[in-house]
Homo-oligomer: A and B are copies of this chain.
Amino acid sequence: MTTVKLGLVGLGTVGCGTLNILKDNADLIAARTGCRIQVVAAAARDLSRARSCDTVGMSLTDDPMQIANNPDVDVLIELMGGTGKAVEVVRAAIMSGKHVITANKALLAEHGNELLALAEEKNVMVAFEASVAGGIPVIKALKEGLAGNKINWLAGIINGTCNYMMTEMAKPGNDFAPVLAEAQRLGYAEAEPSFDIDGIDASHKLAVLASVAFGVPLSRTGMLIEGITMVTAADIAWADDLGYKIKSLGIARRRESGLELRVQSALVPKSKLLANVDDVMNAVMVNGNAAGTTLYYGAGAGGLATGSAVVADIVDVCLAIAAGKNNRPALGVPMAKLASMPILPKDDILSAYYLRLDVTDAAGVLARISTSLATEGISIEEMRQQPDTKTGSATLVLLTNVVQEAAFQRALAALNGLTDLRAPAAWLRVEHLS
Protein backbone atom coordinates (compact mmCIF):
# COMPACT_ATOMS: atom_id res chain seq x y z
CA MET A 1 0.00 0.00 0.00
CA THR A 2 1.36 3.40 -1.02
CA THR A 3 1.70 5.94 1.78
CA VAL A 4 1.15 9.57 0.80
CA LYS A 5 2.29 12.28 3.19
CA LEU A 6 0.57 15.62 3.14
CA GLY A 7 1.77 18.96 4.45
CA LEU A 8 -0.89 21.59 5.00
CA VAL A 9 -0.15 25.30 4.77
CA GLY A 10 -2.95 27.31 6.34
CA LEU A 11 -5.19 26.11 9.16
CA GLY A 12 -8.11 28.47 8.65
CA THR A 13 -11.66 27.52 7.69
CA VAL A 14 -10.69 25.51 4.61
CA GLY A 15 -7.63 23.93 6.19
CA CYS A 16 -9.66 22.72 9.14
CA GLY A 17 -12.52 21.64 6.86
CA THR A 18 -10.06 19.55 4.87
CA LEU A 19 -8.60 17.92 8.00
CA ASN A 20 -12.07 17.16 9.33
CA ILE A 21 -13.14 15.49 6.07
CA LEU A 22 -9.92 13.46 5.92
CA LYS A 23 -10.65 12.26 9.44
CA ASP A 24 -14.43 11.75 9.31
CA ASN A 25 -14.46 10.05 5.91
CA ALA A 26 -11.11 8.28 6.28
CA ASP A 27 -12.41 4.78 5.48
CA LEU A 28 -14.16 5.94 2.34
CA ILE A 29 -11.12 7.87 1.14
CA ALA A 30 -8.86 4.90 1.82
CA ALA A 31 -11.18 2.64 -0.18
CA ARG A 32 -11.20 5.09 -3.10
CA THR A 33 -7.43 5.63 -3.21
CA GLY A 34 -6.01 2.40 -1.91
CA CYS A 35 -3.46 4.63 -0.18
CA ARG A 36 -2.52 5.39 3.39
CA ILE A 37 -2.90 9.16 3.65
CA GLN A 38 -1.09 10.95 6.48
CA VAL A 39 -1.05 14.64 7.26
CA VAL A 40 2.46 14.85 8.66
CA ALA A 41 2.94 18.61 8.95
CA ALA A 42 0.97 21.83 9.05
CA ALA A 43 1.76 25.51 9.12
CA ALA A 44 -0.37 28.30 10.54
CA ARG A 45 0.29 31.98 11.14
CA ASP A 46 -0.69 31.81 14.79
CA LEU A 47 -0.10 28.42 16.37
CA SER A 48 -1.65 29.46 19.66
CA ARG A 49 -5.12 29.97 18.17
CA ALA A 50 -7.87 27.51 19.09
CA ARG A 51 -9.06 25.49 16.09
CA SER A 52 -12.02 23.34 15.14
CA CYS A 53 -9.78 20.54 13.90
CA ASP A 54 -7.39 18.03 15.30
CA THR A 55 -3.67 18.48 14.61
CA VAL A 56 -2.41 15.70 16.88
CA GLY A 57 0.57 13.89 15.39
CA MET A 58 1.42 16.66 12.94
CA SER A 59 4.62 18.62 13.08
CA LEU A 60 3.42 22.21 13.46
CA THR A 61 5.21 25.37 12.40
CA ASP A 62 4.43 29.02 11.75
CA ASP A 63 6.80 29.05 8.77
CA PRO A 64 5.20 27.74 5.54
CA MET A 65 8.63 27.36 3.95
CA GLN A 66 9.36 24.60 6.44
CA ILE A 67 6.54 22.60 4.85
CA ALA A 68 7.79 23.41 1.35
CA ASN A 69 11.25 22.17 2.25
CA ASN A 70 10.21 19.25 4.45
CA PRO A 71 11.61 16.12 2.74
CA ASP A 72 8.98 14.03 4.51
CA VAL A 73 6.12 15.75 2.65
CA ASP A 74 4.94 14.38 -0.72
CA VAL A 75 2.11 16.82 -1.34
CA LEU A 76 1.89 20.42 -0.18
CA ILE A 77 -1.61 21.78 0.26
CA GLU A 78 -1.58 25.55 0.00
CA LEU A 79 -4.52 27.15 1.76
CA MET A 80 -2.80 30.30 3.02
CA GLY A 81 -4.10 32.56 0.23
CA GLY A 82 -2.68 35.74 -1.22
CA THR A 83 0.05 36.21 -3.80
CA GLY A 84 2.94 37.24 -1.58
CA LYS A 85 4.47 34.47 0.46
CA ALA A 86 2.25 31.85 -1.23
CA VAL A 87 4.18 32.16 -4.51
CA GLU A 88 7.48 31.45 -2.80
CA VAL A 89 6.03 28.56 -0.86
CA VAL A 90 4.47 26.89 -3.89
CA ARG A 91 7.57 27.51 -6.02
CA ALA A 92 9.83 26.00 -3.36
CA ALA A 93 7.53 23.00 -2.96
CA ILE A 94 7.58 22.31 -6.70
CA MET A 95 11.36 22.82 -6.86
CA SER A 96 11.78 20.21 -4.15
CA GLY A 97 9.64 17.73 -6.11
CA LYS A 98 6.39 18.03 -4.21
CA HIS A 99 2.96 17.87 -5.75
CA VAL A 100 0.84 20.90 -4.92
CA ILE A 101 -2.87 21.29 -4.23
CA THR A 102 -4.10 24.85 -3.94
CA ALA A 103 -7.33 26.77 -3.44
CA ASN A 104 -5.61 30.02 -4.36
CA LYS A 105 -7.22 31.61 -7.44
CA ALA A 106 -5.22 34.83 -7.10
CA LEU A 107 -2.00 32.83 -7.13
CA LEU A 108 -3.12 30.95 -10.24
CA ALA A 109 -4.35 34.05 -12.07
CA GLU A 110 -1.19 36.02 -11.31
CA HIS A 111 1.56 33.40 -11.24
CA GLY A 112 -0.07 30.25 -12.61
CA ASN A 113 1.74 30.12 -15.95
CA GLU A 114 5.15 30.23 -14.33
CA LEU A 115 4.26 27.78 -11.54
CA LEU A 116 2.51 25.25 -13.78
CA ALA A 117 5.35 25.31 -16.30
CA LEU A 118 7.79 24.69 -13.49
CA ALA A 119 5.64 21.85 -12.18
CA GLU A 120 5.54 20.27 -15.63
CA GLU A 121 9.32 20.51 -15.83
CA LYS A 122 9.68 18.94 -12.38
CA ASN A 123 7.08 16.31 -13.25
CA VAL A 124 4.84 17.11 -10.30
CA MET A 125 1.13 17.79 -10.23
CA VAL A 126 -0.65 21.01 -9.38
CA ALA A 127 -4.36 20.57 -8.66
CA PHE A 128 -6.76 23.42 -7.96
CA GLU A 129 -10.39 22.24 -7.90
CA ALA A 130 -10.94 24.28 -4.74
CA SER A 131 -9.87 27.53 -6.39
CA VAL A 132 -13.20 28.12 -8.16
CA ALA A 133 -16.75 27.62 -6.91
CA GLY A 134 -15.90 25.81 -3.67
CA GLY A 135 -17.49 22.38 -3.49
CA ILE A 136 -18.65 22.26 -7.11
CA PRO A 137 -16.36 20.00 -9.17
CA VAL A 138 -16.44 22.38 -12.12
CA ILE A 139 -12.71 22.33 -12.92
CA LYS A 140 -12.95 18.55 -13.27
CA ALA A 141 -16.10 18.92 -15.38
CA LEU A 142 -14.36 21.29 -17.79
CA LYS A 143 -11.05 19.43 -17.90
CA GLU A 144 -12.31 15.86 -17.87
CA GLY A 145 -16.08 15.51 -18.03
CA LEU A 146 -16.30 17.77 -21.08
CA ALA A 147 -12.86 16.79 -22.42
CA GLY A 148 -14.31 16.05 -25.86
CA ASN A 149 -15.95 19.46 -26.18
CA LYS A 150 -14.80 22.62 -27.83
CA ILE A 151 -16.22 25.10 -25.31
CA ASN A 152 -18.24 27.93 -26.85
CA TRP A 153 -18.94 29.91 -23.71
CA LEU A 154 -19.34 29.75 -19.97
CA ALA A 155 -21.12 31.99 -17.51
CA GLY A 156 -20.91 31.63 -13.78
CA ILE A 157 -22.11 33.00 -10.51
CA ILE A 158 -18.70 32.65 -8.89
CA ASN A 159 -18.78 35.15 -6.07
CA GLY A 160 -21.09 34.30 -3.19
CA THR A 161 -20.93 37.75 -1.60
CA CYS A 162 -22.24 39.42 -4.74
CA ASN A 163 -24.91 36.78 -5.22
CA TYR A 164 -26.06 37.16 -1.63
CA MET A 165 -26.32 40.91 -2.14
CA MET A 166 -28.21 40.62 -5.43
CA THR A 167 -30.62 38.16 -3.78
CA GLU A 168 -31.20 40.35 -0.74
CA MET A 169 -31.61 43.52 -2.76
CA ALA A 170 -34.51 41.86 -4.59
CA LYS A 171 -36.47 41.86 -1.32
CA PRO A 172 -38.69 44.88 -0.73
CA GLY A 173 -37.05 47.83 0.98
CA ASN A 174 -33.47 46.57 0.65
CA ASP A 175 -30.92 48.72 -1.16
CA PHE A 176 -27.16 48.44 -1.63
CA ALA A 177 -25.78 50.04 1.53
CA PRO A 178 -27.89 48.25 4.18
CA VAL A 179 -27.53 44.91 2.37
CA LEU A 180 -23.75 45.31 2.27
CA ALA A 181 -23.77 46.13 5.99
CA GLU A 182 -25.81 42.99 6.67
CA ALA A 183 -23.44 40.90 4.51
CA GLN A 184 -20.55 42.24 6.56
CA ARG A 185 -22.36 41.46 9.82
CA LEU A 186 -22.93 37.86 8.61
CA GLY A 187 -19.31 37.47 7.58
CA TYR A 188 -20.18 37.15 3.87
CA ALA A 189 -18.39 40.40 3.05
CA GLU A 190 -15.12 41.78 4.38
CA ALA A 191 -14.84 45.06 6.28
CA GLU A 192 -13.05 46.26 3.13
CA PRO A 193 -15.51 44.73 0.63
CA SER A 194 -13.88 45.91 -2.61
CA PHE A 195 -12.26 42.56 -3.39
CA ASP A 196 -15.71 40.99 -3.78
CA ILE A 197 -18.04 43.79 -4.85
CA ASP A 198 -15.65 45.26 -7.41
CA GLY A 199 -15.26 41.91 -9.12
CA ILE A 200 -11.59 41.23 -8.30
CA ASP A 201 -12.22 37.82 -6.72
CA ALA A 202 -14.46 36.78 -9.61
CA SER A 203 -11.84 37.94 -12.12
CA HIS A 204 -9.26 35.57 -10.62
CA LYS A 205 -11.74 32.70 -10.84
CA LEU A 206 -12.75 33.61 -14.38
CA ALA A 207 -9.09 33.54 -15.43
CA VAL A 208 -8.84 29.96 -14.12
CA LEU A 209 -12.10 28.85 -15.75
CA ALA A 210 -11.20 30.42 -19.09
CA SER A 211 -7.78 28.79 -19.12
CA VAL A 212 -9.20 25.32 -18.53
CA ALA A 213 -12.12 25.86 -20.90
CA PHE A 214 -10.28 27.39 -23.84
CA GLY A 215 -6.68 26.27 -23.41
CA VAL A 216 -5.43 29.85 -23.03
CA PRO A 217 -2.69 30.91 -20.59
CA LEU A 218 -3.81 32.06 -17.14
CA SER A 219 -4.27 35.80 -17.38
CA ARG A 220 -6.55 38.70 -16.55
CA THR A 221 -4.94 41.02 -19.09
CA GLY A 222 -7.67 42.65 -21.15
CA MET A 223 -10.44 41.26 -18.96
CA LEU A 224 -13.38 43.59 -18.37
CA ILE A 225 -13.84 43.77 -14.61
CA GLU A 226 -16.95 45.46 -13.31
CA GLY A 227 -18.53 44.96 -9.91
CA ILE A 228 -22.03 45.27 -8.57
CA THR A 229 -21.86 48.80 -7.20
CA MET A 230 -23.93 50.22 -10.08
CA VAL A 231 -26.87 47.92 -9.34
CA THR A 232 -29.80 49.49 -7.50
CA ALA A 233 -32.89 47.97 -5.95
CA ALA A 234 -34.91 49.94 -8.51
CA ASP A 235 -33.15 48.15 -11.39
CA ILE A 236 -33.69 44.78 -9.73
CA ALA A 237 -37.40 45.55 -9.41
CA TRP A 238 -37.67 46.68 -13.04
CA ALA A 239 -35.76 43.61 -14.18
CA ASP A 240 -38.19 41.45 -12.23
CA ASP A 241 -41.10 43.12 -13.98
CA LEU A 242 -39.48 42.36 -17.35
CA GLY A 243 -38.91 38.68 -16.44
CA TYR A 244 -35.24 38.90 -15.44
CA LYS A 245 -33.05 38.72 -12.38
CA ILE A 246 -29.83 40.69 -11.97
CA LYS A 247 -26.80 38.53 -11.26
CA SER A 248 -23.09 39.18 -10.99
CA LEU A 249 -21.49 36.94 -13.62
CA GLY A 250 -18.13 35.85 -14.87
CA ILE A 251 -18.47 35.32 -18.61
CA ALA A 252 -16.03 33.87 -21.12
CA ARG A 253 -17.14 33.54 -24.72
CA ARG A 254 -15.21 32.34 -27.74
CA ARG A 255 -15.89 34.38 -30.83
CA GLU A 256 -14.22 34.12 -34.21
CA SER A 257 -12.22 37.26 -33.58
CA GLY A 258 -11.16 36.36 -30.05
CA LEU A 259 -12.29 35.83 -26.51
CA GLU A 260 -14.72 37.94 -24.51
CA LEU A 261 -13.73 37.88 -20.83
CA ARG A 262 -15.87 39.87 -18.47
CA VAL A 263 -16.95 40.12 -14.87
CA GLN A 264 -20.14 42.15 -14.74
CA SER A 265 -23.65 42.50 -13.42
CA ALA A 266 -26.29 41.52 -15.93
CA LEU A 267 -29.95 40.78 -16.40
CA VAL A 268 -30.58 37.04 -16.83
CA PRO A 269 -33.95 35.61 -17.97
CA LYS A 270 -35.80 33.97 -15.09
CA SER A 271 -36.42 30.95 -17.33
CA LYS A 272 -32.70 30.09 -17.06
CA LEU A 273 -31.59 27.95 -14.10
CA LEU A 274 -28.74 30.39 -13.46
CA ALA A 275 -31.25 33.14 -12.62
CA ASN A 276 -32.62 30.90 -9.86
CA VAL A 277 -29.29 30.41 -8.09
CA ASP A 278 -29.72 32.53 -4.99
CA ASP A 279 -28.08 33.56 -1.72
CA VAL A 280 -24.41 32.63 -1.39
CA MET A 281 -24.70 29.67 -3.79
CA ASN A 282 -22.56 29.42 -6.93
CA ALA A 283 -23.21 27.90 -10.34
CA VAL A 284 -21.39 27.68 -13.64
CA MET A 285 -23.14 27.21 -16.96
CA VAL A 286 -21.00 25.77 -19.76
CA ASN A 287 -21.83 25.49 -23.45
CA GLY A 288 -19.81 22.98 -25.45
CA ASN A 289 -20.08 21.91 -29.07
CA ALA A 290 -20.94 18.32 -28.11
CA ALA A 291 -22.66 18.30 -24.70
CA GLY A 292 -24.59 21.49 -25.37
CA THR A 293 -25.37 23.45 -22.22
CA THR A 294 -24.62 21.91 -18.83
CA LEU A 295 -24.74 23.55 -15.42
CA TYR A 296 -22.92 22.87 -12.15
CA TYR A 297 -24.39 24.18 -8.90
CA GLY A 298 -23.39 24.16 -5.26
CA ALA A 299 -21.82 25.97 -2.33
CA GLY A 300 -19.05 28.32 -3.41
CA ALA A 301 -17.42 28.71 -0.03
CA GLY A 302 -17.23 27.28 3.47
CA GLY A 303 -14.72 25.02 5.12
CA LEU A 304 -16.37 21.69 4.35
CA ALA A 305 -17.55 22.56 0.83
CA THR A 306 -14.17 23.92 -0.24
CA GLY A 307 -12.49 21.14 1.74
CA SER A 308 -14.51 18.67 -0.34
CA ALA A 309 -12.76 20.00 -3.46
CA VAL A 310 -9.35 19.84 -1.77
CA VAL A 311 -9.99 16.22 -0.79
CA ALA A 312 -11.09 15.35 -4.35
CA ASP A 313 -7.71 16.67 -5.49
CA ILE A 314 -5.98 14.68 -2.76
CA VAL A 315 -7.69 11.51 -4.04
CA ASP A 316 -6.61 12.28 -7.63
CA VAL A 317 -3.03 12.99 -6.59
CA CYS A 318 -2.83 9.87 -4.40
CA LEU A 319 -4.11 7.68 -7.24
CA ALA A 320 -1.55 9.17 -9.60
CA ILE A 321 1.27 8.73 -7.07
CA ALA A 322 0.23 5.12 -6.54
CA ALA A 323 0.05 4.56 -10.31
CA GLY A 324 3.58 5.90 -10.57
CA LYS A 325 2.66 8.34 -13.28
CA ASN A 326 0.42 11.29 -13.98
CA ASN A 327 -0.21 12.28 -17.56
CA ARG A 328 -3.25 14.53 -17.21
CA PRO A 329 -1.92 18.07 -17.66
CA ALA A 330 -2.90 20.58 -14.96
CA LEU A 331 -4.85 22.76 -17.37
CA GLY A 332 -6.12 19.86 -19.50
CA VAL A 333 -3.47 20.31 -22.17
CA PRO A 334 0.33 20.58 -21.74
CA MET A 335 1.62 24.12 -21.12
CA ALA A 336 3.32 24.14 -24.52
CA LYS A 337 -0.05 23.55 -26.18
CA LEU A 338 -1.73 26.54 -24.54
CA ALA A 339 -2.51 29.12 -27.21
CA SER A 340 -3.26 32.75 -26.51
CA MET A 341 -6.37 34.17 -28.09
CA PRO A 342 -6.90 37.90 -28.56
CA ILE A 343 -8.98 39.27 -25.68
CA LEU A 344 -11.64 41.42 -27.28
CA PRO A 345 -11.68 45.03 -26.09
CA LYS A 346 -14.77 46.34 -24.34
CA ASP A 347 -15.91 48.13 -27.51
CA ASP A 348 -16.19 44.80 -29.33
CA ILE A 349 -18.43 43.06 -26.80
CA LEU A 350 -21.72 41.85 -28.22
CA SER A 351 -24.60 42.23 -25.80
CA ALA A 352 -28.19 43.25 -25.31
CA TYR A 353 -28.74 46.15 -22.93
CA TYR A 354 -31.14 47.37 -20.28
CA LEU A 355 -31.71 51.12 -19.97
CA ARG A 356 -33.57 53.03 -17.28
CA LEU A 357 -34.26 56.66 -18.14
CA ASP A 358 -35.70 59.35 -15.92
CA VAL A 359 -37.32 61.70 -18.42
CA THR A 360 -39.51 64.79 -18.46
CA ASP A 361 -42.99 63.83 -19.60
CA ALA A 362 -42.96 66.04 -22.70
CA ALA A 363 -44.15 65.55 -26.28
CA GLY A 364 -41.69 63.76 -28.54
CA VAL A 365 -39.49 62.33 -25.80
CA LEU A 366 -39.87 58.73 -26.91
CA ALA A 367 -39.24 59.72 -30.53
CA ARG A 368 -35.98 61.45 -29.59
CA ILE A 369 -34.86 58.47 -27.52
CA SER A 370 -35.74 55.95 -30.24
CA THR A 371 -33.87 58.08 -32.76
CA SER A 372 -30.73 58.21 -30.60
CA LEU A 373 -30.82 54.44 -30.43
CA ALA A 374 -31.80 53.83 -34.06
CA THR A 375 -28.94 56.04 -35.25
CA GLU A 376 -26.61 53.39 -33.82
CA GLY A 377 -28.62 50.50 -35.21
CA ILE A 378 -30.19 49.72 -31.85
CA SER A 379 -33.80 48.62 -31.67
CA ILE A 380 -36.09 48.50 -28.66
CA GLU A 381 -37.20 44.93 -27.94
CA GLU A 382 -39.33 45.70 -24.91
CA MET A 383 -40.39 48.80 -22.99
CA ARG A 384 -42.07 49.82 -19.74
CA GLN A 385 -43.22 53.32 -18.91
CA GLN A 386 -44.18 54.70 -15.50
CA PRO A 387 -45.39 58.29 -15.36
CA ASP A 388 -45.02 60.31 -12.17
CA THR A 389 -47.87 62.85 -12.36
CA LYS A 390 -46.62 64.77 -9.33
CA THR A 391 -43.33 65.78 -10.90
CA GLY A 392 -44.45 65.63 -14.52
CA SER A 393 -41.68 63.12 -15.17
CA ALA A 394 -41.63 59.48 -16.19
CA THR A 395 -39.43 56.43 -15.86
CA LEU A 396 -38.75 54.69 -19.13
CA VAL A 397 -37.26 51.20 -19.08
CA LEU A 398 -35.98 49.59 -22.29
CA LEU A 399 -34.41 46.34 -23.43
CA THR A 400 -32.40 46.50 -26.66
CA ASN A 401 -31.41 43.92 -29.25
CA VAL A 402 -27.88 42.52 -29.29
CA VAL A 403 -25.43 45.14 -30.54
CA GLN A 404 -21.78 46.03 -30.24
CA GLU A 405 -20.86 47.76 -26.98
CA ALA A 406 -19.26 50.67 -28.86
CA ALA A 407 -22.54 51.41 -30.64
CA PHE A 408 -24.40 51.20 -27.36
CA GLN A 409 -21.96 53.54 -25.62
CA ARG A 410 -22.30 56.08 -28.44
CA ALA A 411 -26.10 55.88 -28.17
CA LEU A 412 -25.79 56.24 -24.39
CA ALA A 413 -23.73 59.41 -24.80
CA ALA A 414 -26.34 60.76 -27.21
CA LEU A 415 -29.13 59.92 -24.77
CA ASN A 416 -27.31 61.63 -21.92
CA GLY A 417 -27.04 64.70 -24.13
CA LEU A 418 -30.83 64.96 -24.51
CA THR A 419 -32.40 67.71 -22.41
CA ASP A 420 -35.29 65.30 -21.82
CA LEU A 421 -33.22 63.27 -19.34
CA ARG A 422 -33.45 64.43 -15.73
CA ALA A 423 -30.48 62.25 -14.71
CA PRO A 424 -27.81 60.20 -16.50
CA ALA A 425 -29.23 56.97 -17.91
CA ALA A 426 -28.82 53.83 -15.77
CA TRP A 427 -27.84 50.77 -17.80
CA LEU A 428 -26.80 47.14 -17.52
CA ARG A 429 -26.03 44.34 -19.95
CA VAL A 430 -28.59 41.62 -20.63
CA GLU A 431 -27.34 38.04 -21.02
CA HIS A 432 -29.62 35.62 -22.80
CA LEU A 433 -27.19 32.73 -22.14
CA SER A 434 -27.70 30.97 -25.42
Contacts and interface: CB of A to CB of B under 8 A. Distances in A.
A283 B276 CA distance: 15
A386 to B, nearest CB: 28
Interface string A290-332: 1111111111001011011111101110010011111111001
A135 B299 CA distance: 22
Tell me the dominant secondary structure on chain A's binding face.
mixed
A22 B296 CA distance: 25
A16 B302 CA distance: 43
A49 interface: no
B141 A145 contact: yes
A21 interface: yes
A68 to B, nearest CB: 24
A148 B319 CA distance: 13
Contact of A21 (B29, B148, B334): B148
Given A297-B297, A327-B319, A327-B323, A312 B145 contact: yes
A149 B25 contact: yes
A92 interface: no
Given A147-B29, A147-B312, A323-B325, A273 B290 contact: no
Nearest to A299: B292
A34 B334 CA distance: 9
A150 interface: yes
A291 B144 contact: no
A148 to B, nearest CB: 3
A326 B134 CA distance: 28
A150 B412 CA distance: 53
Contact of A324 (B25, B141, B305, B325): B325
A76 to B, nearest CB: 18
A315 B140 contact: no
A141 B140 contact: yes
Contacts of A403: none
Contacts of A291: 134-136, 298-299, 304-305, 308-309
A337 interface: yes
A144 B298 contact: no
A22 to B, nearest CB: 8
A307 B308 CA distance: 29
Contact of A326 (B289, B293, B323): B323
A186 interface: no
A148 B303 CA distance: 13
B312 A29 contact: no
The winner among A129, A292, A298 for most chain B CB atoms within 10 A is A298
Contacts of A137: 140-141, 144-146, 294
B290 A308 contact: yes
A333 interface: yes
A299 to B, nearest CB: 5
Nearest to A329: B32
A179 interface: no
Nearest to A307: B290
A24 interface: yes
B332 A328 contact: no
A363 interface: no
B298 A294 contact: yes
B140 A327 contact: no
A186 to B, nearest CB: 17
A290 B304 contact: yes
A277 interface: yes
A28 interface: yes
Contact of A290 (B32, B135, B215, B277): B135
Interface of A: 17, 21-22, 24-25, 28-29, 31-32, 34, 129, 134-137, 140-141, 144-150, 215, 273, 276-277, 283, 288-299, 302, 304-305, 307-312, 314-316, 319, 322-329, 332-334, 337
Q: Which 10 A-B pairs have the closest CB atoms?
A: A137-B145, A148-B311, A135-B291, A294-B298, A290-B308, A291-B308, A295-B297, A147-B315, A31-B333, A323-B325
